[in-house]
Amino acid sequence: HVEKLIDTYPDKHVVVIEPDKRVFGHSLNIKCFEKIISKCQLWIDEDVNIVKAKVHELVTHPLARGIELLPYYLLYEEYCRELLMGCQKMLNDWAVMVNTKRCLVDKWYINRVENAKKQSVNAKELIEKFKDIPGILVGAGPSLQGQIETLKKLQGKAVIIAASTAIEILVSNNIEPTFMVAIDQDPITSGGLHENLKADVPLIFDGQVAQNSLNYNGKKFQMLLNVNRYTNMVIPDLPMFESGPSVGNVVLDMLHKFGCNPILICGFDMSYTDGKLYCDGTKFNQDMSQVQSMRMVNNKNETCTTEPSFLSMKHWFEEYVNRVKPCVFNCTERGLVIEGIENKSFDDFTFDKEYDLKKIINDCYKDFIDVESIKKVNAELAEDLNKMKELLVGSKQLVPLNYFKSWPLVDEYSSTLIYLEEIRCEEKIKKGTAKEQAIKEFQDKRYNIILSNIDKLIEILK
């Protein structure tokens, strides 16, 4: 069947996955593989997780045309099932990511540049400072309501981090978490929440957060998401945390890097428990009629309603714990099952030690980030972008640009729009448009996108 694929699609890139090197070795003795080896890319005896990562790169490309496992589904049923399920999850997560990036990339860059100039302390001071202290990741899901009293008793006995909207619920119930974390760029939901907060809770933020979030009067620590190339250029020694579809995903990585052990998750229903998005105590509940809903079973074996963005959060948790293997337990009372994380109750743990967490934080809150050096780097980046623009306009084509320091910013800023244009180009070819004409049109649009985004970045950096 591989040779048939090659003959049927001579211009296509064919990847062959062979899960058993013994079968492949035996086949070499009875069949000539010259055509397959010369025309295909072979992955032989690879771990299924490595294959899933490689397949993700392929299937998210606009020219990908599918995965065909054929007889191997019968021979290696478990391997194939895990591979296909993994690809299905990754495609859902990728779609969520593309839509998010398409809508918000402008806000992210403007916020990152402006927020880098605000007074804050480098969050690297917090890394490993809470070693072997229990950590609690608090989401704002409906089932948090039943755990409010427990969290009140755990203040000072664990590092409690409120993810986004959870801070409003905790503070309204007289719970002061150890930290709150913000990455949301929405000036109303995120910015308004932190700007008006009446509490003494240190804020940990990434530069993409809404600018008015940093009007908060309390302590502010700046960290870096691993997708934030700009801030990494201007403040290169910030600690990097793994980005995810939800701030809660980021906080799990944060608690792990802070040294917390064990880490307990609560308030992450990732579903509309009893028809609600959030626990009581927040003004941001969602109209269910606007939800792209689907039915699943939660950890109480109840049927619940969820949506693609929740599943993306869940898949991120599952991939992270499988790869990093932190000591983490899910104490959410009524939420989706997170594969790889054992469900527990707070009652299963002993919290018999008090910690002076405020002293640890106060000792870390020193040496503010040098804002003047950031302004200097901004000027250098703007100058670099102007040189890049001159080169592009002078040549009227996309010449190799990797030697420009600012190229990663342009590349990141432009990538989603270019990707969407690439899909349109392929669709035109499918509908019968001359291939050369469609590709020329795509190249022209790609050139114009990059040139336009260089102008935007120069303006932002001023």
Give the residue extent of every domain in the chain.
Answer: 2-91, 116-364, 370-461
What is the reported pLDDT for 84? 67
Position with higher pLDDT, 442 vs 382: 382
What is the reported pLDDT for 263? 98
DSSP state of 152: H
Distance CA 158, CA 446 (A): 50
260: nearest Cα among 329, 159, 154: 159
What is the reported pLDDT for 54? 67
For the CA atoms of 243, 284, 168, 159, what is the dihedral angle to 10 degrees?
Answer: -30
Residues with Cβ < 8 Å from 145, sequence gap 6 or more? 279, 280
64: nearest Cα among 422, 313, 460: 422
Q: How many residues does the chain have?
A: 462
What is the reported pLDDT for 93? 59
Read off the pLDDT band of 364 (50, 70, 90). very high
Read off the pLDDT band of 199 (50, 70, 90). confident
Residues 82-100 have pLDDT tens digits of 766 666 666 665 555 556 6
What is the reported pLDDT for 21? 74
Residues 404-436 have pLDDT tens digits of 999 989 988 888 788 778 878 888 887 888 888
Give the pTM. Answer: 0.76
Residues with Cβ < 8 Å from 380, sequence gap 6 or more? 405
Read off the pLDDT band of 131 (50, 70, 90). very high
What is the reported pLDDT for 56? 60
Q: Which stretches of 116-212 are DSSP H helices?
A: 148-153, 166-172, 192-195
Q: Say if residues 260 and 133 touch (Cβ distance below 8 Å).
A: yes
Residues 227-251 have pLDDT tens digits of 888 898 999 899 999 998 889 999 9
Distance CA 116, CA 458 (A): 16
Q: Residues 143-160: what's their mean pLDDT?
A: 96
Q: Say if residues 240 and 124 touch (Cβ distance below 8 Å).
A: no
Q: Residues 441-453: what's their mean pLDDT?
A: 88
How far is CA 202 from its chain centroid? 23
Q: Could you tell me if residue 281 is left (phi over 0), alpha (psi between -120 and 50 degrees) or otherwise beta?
A: left
What is the reported pLDDT for 36? 74
Distance CA 222, CA 213 (A): 12
Q: What rounded mean pLDDT belongs to the chain?
A: 84
For the CA atoms of 396, 402, 408, 409, what is the dihedral angle to 10 degrees?
Answer: -40
101 pLDDT higher than 90: no
Output the DSSP codes for 256-289.
HHHT-SSEEEES---S-GGG-SS-TT-S-PPPGG
Position with higher pLDDT, 8 vs 337: 337
70 pLDDT higher than 60: no
